[in-house]
């Protein structure tokens, strides 16, 4: 059976900066993989390349065995990969529900309607339901501009879930979320995704989150994979301690 | 070969006053980051004031050379003053707001000046051709050229070099360049950015007005002059790259040559050719031919 | 949505406005006709602006509509007003269909400059064209309606007024429906964050193109009206100052309210008429001062096409106490 994501020999340089150096990795369906590494190690670049936002200098990316290297973010989304962002990418002036409704409209294959109201045809119901999974249902009609960072993060993630993706990439899902809320957030995400048994790849800096939620950890350094395995082994690896977690 | 030379010479003559106008526009954009829609109005103002100066001098029986000097001096003073007052008195009120606001303010100034010129000088065409004969005629490649036109070329080259020298080799110039490249940094290093704004704007207005004054003897001054000039100089600045002095030069030469070539080869294309080039540049190299190095904001 | 008019009511208002013209003096009729026509074009700009792109070159479609109708009217004797509006709209729309996809991927200032450049390309071509009358343009005959010829100028003016008010009114209703629709919401999203829209699987370029074509259709129809009112077409239709006036109306109106567009357009025409009447050669002066005044004293009324407007207050009745757990409101 094909791995959900298969990346081979991915290279990416920005001038003198090596963001990806012959990256090769395979992720099986249903895994919960955490990407760790210091800032600039290449984790977000990896996510950007997998989602088609950046074109790798060389190498291949395959989803379920199918090459997706040439696709744009839109194409990649339509094929079943969704992502959330380190800094929430939302429609600030729209309400939380409206943000989700835009995501729902994105799943349509026919053209968008000129006349059918935005909240009709079950779009609003779907939006509120998704917000509900994160406990945000009663903030549905608040403009995002009035909502705090942690909430925005959740909305950002909720939007990525609308397409029921095969592969969900989360870029620092708990950053900006208060310490007490972090576990609750991750619990909600895992719970929300459970019905679809999606594969989750999440970039994280918080090692507690990593050890608790990941069943596999991949450590990045200078665009290369330093270590790859179960959380215990990787987090105890001396090189990982040196270059990523900073010891102790 | 003669034909080719004619086009080149015609093109350069066109380019010379176009360059001076475009230079003013691009400098104002580079420093203040605003597109001054009223820039053409200052060109027209310069032309009209020059016309008045020339005809007044002529009415007093003085020779055209005096008229020529008079027009340049009067325009220089008045334009600098107007530019300075406008910046300090009006524009300054809108700094810090969305950049679109300043665009609208300059559009308002354009509208106001349109009618002010009509009210002062009327709607009928005005001529002030006396200085045009100052430099005689020259025969070159079988054609007659008016000396005045040819003199514009070295004048504009001198202006360009002076500005380049001023920007790159003097302390004030380097301060201006610093503000163009990175205003925040300059301010944090103690540069009085507001003062640079005032100087740059006044200088931009001066350039536009001087270009107007220099071309006054060869054109007719009438309503519509400012709107024609602003759109043309805007095209040049876009082609060359917003904020770039070299770009203004290259853009002006390109447009001048394109115009001259069209006039001789395909007159219908004369006008739309320029905007076609502008559209082309915007589509394929939006930053213009002379990319301005902008610091990457992380 | 609260406080929104039912389409049937809006249609009735439009019809009422049209009939009201019977009571108006002739000079008001022409003024209102021009205002309605300009409002139509400005409305198109507002529609497009909701995607975050402002067109500074609607003169392109305005002229395309005008010249298209003029040529067809003179060639085939097609003088029916309604037909002319439709032809104008189609001319604008076809051109929009061609150009839209080419420029949809540009954003912000480059989009604006590109539309400006393209309109000036047409202007330049028209001015130098001998076939189309060059900078003088050419004339067209009087419009008719459903076979009726209007000899009495008052009747003719009223006919034009009615057609323009009804057309613009219907366009306004259509725009209102559009703004509330699925497409309308996603258009706003494109303006806010076109990257995220792409990541959600929707083509931002396609959204921009659709709105662009709508704006082009409106401008083309506006061109037909201007042609019928002046019975003359010339390259000035495509000139940048013409495009600038339409943008001016749109900016004054903002991007949230369709009604505001009509008010703004009417205000512009009133200013123009009154200054022409009492102080010739001053209407631009007055307009410029008016614009400065609005910028200074009504900042939210200006530039709201670009400046983020405060979101409309929704029912404040649902003021649920927000706990720290929900993490709302900073």
Structure tokens at B164: 């380049």
Mean pLDDT of chain A: 89
Cβ–Cβ below 8 Å for C327 and A181: yes
pLDDT value of residue A248 = 45
Number of B–C residue contacts, CB under 8 Å: 117
C-alpha to C-alpha distance for A26 and A53, rounded to whole angstroms:
20
Answer whether C56 touches B (CB < 8 Å): no
pLDDT value of residue C317 = 32
- Which chains pack against C, by 3+ Cβ pairs within 8 A? A, B
Predicted confidence (pLDDT) at residue A99 exceeds the cutoff of 50: yes
C-alpha to C-alpha distance for A160 and B113, rounded to whole angstroms:
53
Task: Report the number of distinct structural domains present in chain C.
Answer: 1
Domain of C83 in residue numbering reads as 16-239
Q: Which residues of A touch C202 (CB under 8 A)?
A: 74, 102, 105-106, 112
Question: In terms of CA atoms, which chain B residue is nearest residue C290?
Answer: B108
Answer whether A81 touches C (CB < 8 Å): no
pLDDT value of residue C326 = 34
Mutate to test the interface with B, among C288, C294, C309 (most CBs of B within 10 A): C288
Predicted confidence (pLDDT) at residue B294 exceeds the cutoff of 60: no
Q: Taking a contact as any Cβ pair under 8 Å apart, which residues of chain B between 58 and 87 contact chain C?
A: none
- Mean pLDDT value of segment C74-88: 91
Tell me, yes or no, whether C138 lies in a domain. yes
User: pLDDT over 70 for what percent of chain C?
Assistant: 88
Q: What ranges do the domains of chain B cover? A: 2-284
Predicted confidence (pLDDT) at residue B232 exceeds the cutoff of 50: yes
Which of A181-190, B95-104, B186-195 has the lowest average pLDDT?
B95-104
Closest chain C C-alpha to B9 CA, distance in angstroms: 23
- Mean pLDDT value of segment A74-94: 93
Report yes or no for ipTM above 0.90: yes
Cβ–Cβ below 8 Å for A105 and C184: no
In the DSSP assignment, the letter for residue A229 is E
Cβ–Cβ below 8 Å for B275 and C241: no
C-alpha to C-alpha distance for C250 and C56, rounded to whole angstroms:
11
Residue with token string 């009085």: B192
Task: Judge whether C50 and C175 are in contact, CB under 8 Å.
Answer: no
Which of A46-55, B1-10, B266-275, C315-324 has the lowest average pLDDT?
C315-324
Q: Which residues of C touch B109 (CB under 8 A)?
A: 288
pLDDT value of residue A48 = 93
H or E stretch covering A221: strand A216-221
* Strand segments (E) across chain B: 137-140, 143-146
Residue with token string 């051709």: B129
Cβ–Cβ below 8 Å for C328 and A78: no
Tell me, yes or no, whether C35 lies in a domain. yes
Question: In terms of CA atoms, which chain B residue is nearest residue C241?
Answer: B227
Taking CA atoms, C313 is separated from A96, C46, C50, C191, C298, in Å, by 14, 21, 19, 20, 19
Mean pLDDT of chain C: 85
pLDDT value of residue C324 = 34
- Mean pLDDT value of segment B91-99: 80
Closest chain B C-alpha to C83 CA, distance in angstroms: 31
Instruction: Calculate helix-pair angle for C108-127, C59-76, nearest 10 degrees.
Output: 30
Mutate to test the interface with C, among A50, A54, A77, A91 (most CBs of C within 10 A): A91
Structure tokens at A63: 């989803």
Predicted confidence (pLDDT) at residue B119 exceeds the cutoff of 60: yes
Cβ–Cβ below 8 Å for C308 and A93: yes
Q: Which of A89, A120, A139 sits opposite C328 (nearest CB)?
A: A139
pLDDT value of residue C11 = 86
- Mean pLDDT value of segment C271-278: 85
C-alpha to C-alpha distance for A59 and C177, rounded to whole angstroms:
48
User: pLDDT over 90 for what percent of chain B?
Assistant: 47
- Mean pLDDT value of segment B227-233: 93
H or E stretch covering A170: strand A167-171
Predicted confidence (pLDDT) at residue C73 exceeds the cutoff of 70: yes
pLDDT value of residue A53 = 93
Question: In terms of CA atoms, which chain C residue is nearest residue B121?
Answer: C281
Task: Judge whether A29 and A3 are in contact, CB under 8 Å.
Answer: yes
Q: Which of C1, C184, C201 sits opposite A74 (nearest CB)?
A: C201
pLDDT value of residue C299 = 63
Q: Which of C178, C198, C326 sits opposite A114 (nearest CB)?
A: C178
Cβ–Cβ below 8 Å for B267 and C244: no
Q: Do chains C and A touch (3 or more CB pairs under 8 A)?
A: yes
pTM: 0.89
pLDDT value of residue B148 = 86
Structure tokens at C113: 């400059």
H or E stretch covering C193: none
Does CATH number 1.10.3470 belong to domain B2-284?
yes
pLDDT value of residue C72 = 93
Cβ–Cβ below 8 Å for A116 and C318: no
């Amino acid at each position: 059976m094909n791995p959900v994501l298969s990346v081979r020999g991915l290279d990416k340089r920005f001038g003198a900066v090596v963001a990806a150096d012959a990256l090769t990795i395979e992720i099986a369906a249903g895994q919960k993989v955490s990407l760790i590494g210091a800032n600039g190690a290449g984790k977000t670049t990896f996510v950007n390349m997998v989602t088609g936002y950046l074109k790798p200098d060389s190498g291949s990316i395959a989803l379920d065995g199918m090459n997706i290297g040439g696709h744009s973010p839109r194409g990649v989304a339509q094929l079943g990969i969704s992502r959330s962002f380190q800094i929430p990418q939302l429609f600030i002036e729209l309400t939380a529900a409206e943000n989700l409704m835009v995501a729902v409209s994105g799943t349509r294959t026919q053209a968008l309607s000129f006349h059918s109201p935005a909240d009709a045809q079950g779009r609003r119901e779907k939006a509120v339901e998704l917000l509900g999974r994160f406990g945000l249902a009663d903030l549905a009609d608040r403009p995002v501009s009035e909502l705090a960072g942690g909430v925005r993060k959740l909305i950002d993630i909720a939007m990525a879930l609308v397409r029921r993706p095969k592969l969900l990439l989360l870029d620092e899902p708990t950053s900006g979320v208060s310490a007490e809320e972090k576990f609750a957030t991750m619990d909600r995400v895992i719970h929300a995704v459970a019905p679809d048994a999606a594969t989750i790849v999440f970039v994280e800096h918080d090692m507690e989150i990593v050890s608790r939620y990941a069943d596999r950890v991949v450590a990045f350094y200078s665009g290369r994979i330093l270590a790859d395995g179960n959380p215990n082994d990787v987090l105890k690896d001396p090189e990982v301690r040196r270059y990523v977690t900073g010891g102790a | 070969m003669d034909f080719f030379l004619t086009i080149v010479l015609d093109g350069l003559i066109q380019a010379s006053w176009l360059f001076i106008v475009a230079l003013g526009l691009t400098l104002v954009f580079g420093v203040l980051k605003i597109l001054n829609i009223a820039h053409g109005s200052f060109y027209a103002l310069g032309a009209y004031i020059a016309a008045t100066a020339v005809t007044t001098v002529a009415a007093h029986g003085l020779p055209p050379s005096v008229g020529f000097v008079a027009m340049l001096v009067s325009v220089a003073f008045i334009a600098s003053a107007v530019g300075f007052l406008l910046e300090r008195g009006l524009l300054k009120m809108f700094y810090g707001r969305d950049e679109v606001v300043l665009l609208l303010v300059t559009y308002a100034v354009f509208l106001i000046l349109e009618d002010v010129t009509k009210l002062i000088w009327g709607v009928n065409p005005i001529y002030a051709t006396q200085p045009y004969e100052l430099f005689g005629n020259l025969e070159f490649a079988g054609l007659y050229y008016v000396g005045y036109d040819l003199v514009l070329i070295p004048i504009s080259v001198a202006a360009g070099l002076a500005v380049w020298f001023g920007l790159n080799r003097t302390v004030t110039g380097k301060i201006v360049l610093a503000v163009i490249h990175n205003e925040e940094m300059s301010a944090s290093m103690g540069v009085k950015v507001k003062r640079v704004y005032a100087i740059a704007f006044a200088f931009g207005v001066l350039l536009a007005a001087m270009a107007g004054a220099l071309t006054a003897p060869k054109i007719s001054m009438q309503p519509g002059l400012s709107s024609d000039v602003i759109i043309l100089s805007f095209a040049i600045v876009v082609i060359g790259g917003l904020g770039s002095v070299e770009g203004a030069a290259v853009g002006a030469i390109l447009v001048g040559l394109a115009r001259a070539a069209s006039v001789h080869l395909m007159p219908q294309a004369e006008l739309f050719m320029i905007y076609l080039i502008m559209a082309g540049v915007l589509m394929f190299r939006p930053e213009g031919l002379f990319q301005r190095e902008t610091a990457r904001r992380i | 949505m609260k406080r929104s008019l039912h389409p049937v009511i809006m249609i009735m208002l439009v019809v009422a406005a049209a009939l009201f013209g019977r009571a108006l003096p002739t000079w008001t009729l022409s003024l209102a006709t021009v205002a309605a026509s300009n409002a139509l074009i400005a409305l198109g700009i507002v529609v497009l602006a909701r995607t975050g792109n402002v067109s500074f070159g609607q003169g392109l479609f305005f002229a395309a509509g005008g010249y298209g109708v003029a040529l067809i009217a003179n060639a085939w004797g097609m003088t029916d007003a309604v037909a002319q509006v439709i032809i104008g709209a189609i001319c604008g729309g076809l051109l929009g269909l061609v150009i839209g996809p080419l420029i949809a991927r540009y954003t912000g200032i480059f989009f604006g400059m590109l539309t400006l450049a393209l309109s000036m390309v047409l202007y330049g071509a028209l001015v130098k064209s001998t076939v189309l009358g060059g900078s003088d343009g050419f004339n067209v005959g009087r419009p008719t309606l459903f076979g009726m010829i209007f000899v009495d100028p008052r009747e003719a003016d009223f006919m034009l007024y009615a057609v323009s008010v009804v057309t613009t009114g219907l366009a306004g209703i259509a725009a209102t429906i559009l703004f509330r629709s699925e497409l309308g919401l996603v258009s706003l999203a494109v303006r806010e964050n076109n990257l995220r829209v792409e990541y959600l699987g929707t083509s931002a370029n396609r959204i921009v193109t659709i709105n662009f074509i709508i704006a082009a259709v409106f401008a083309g129809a506006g061109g037909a009206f201007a042609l019928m009112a002046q019975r003359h077409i010339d390259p000035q239709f495509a000139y940048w100052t013409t495009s600038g006036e339409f943008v001016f109306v749109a900016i004054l109106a903002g991007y949230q309210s369709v009604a505001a567009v009509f008010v703004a357009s009417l205000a512009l025409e009133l200013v123009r008429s009154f200054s022409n009447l009492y102080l010739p050669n001053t209407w631009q002066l007055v307009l410029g001062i008016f614009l400065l005044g609005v910028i200074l004293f009504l900042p939210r009324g200006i530039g709201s096409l670009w400046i983020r407007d405060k979101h409309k207050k929704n029912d404040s009745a649902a003021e649920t106490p927000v706990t720290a757990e929900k993490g709302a409101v900073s």
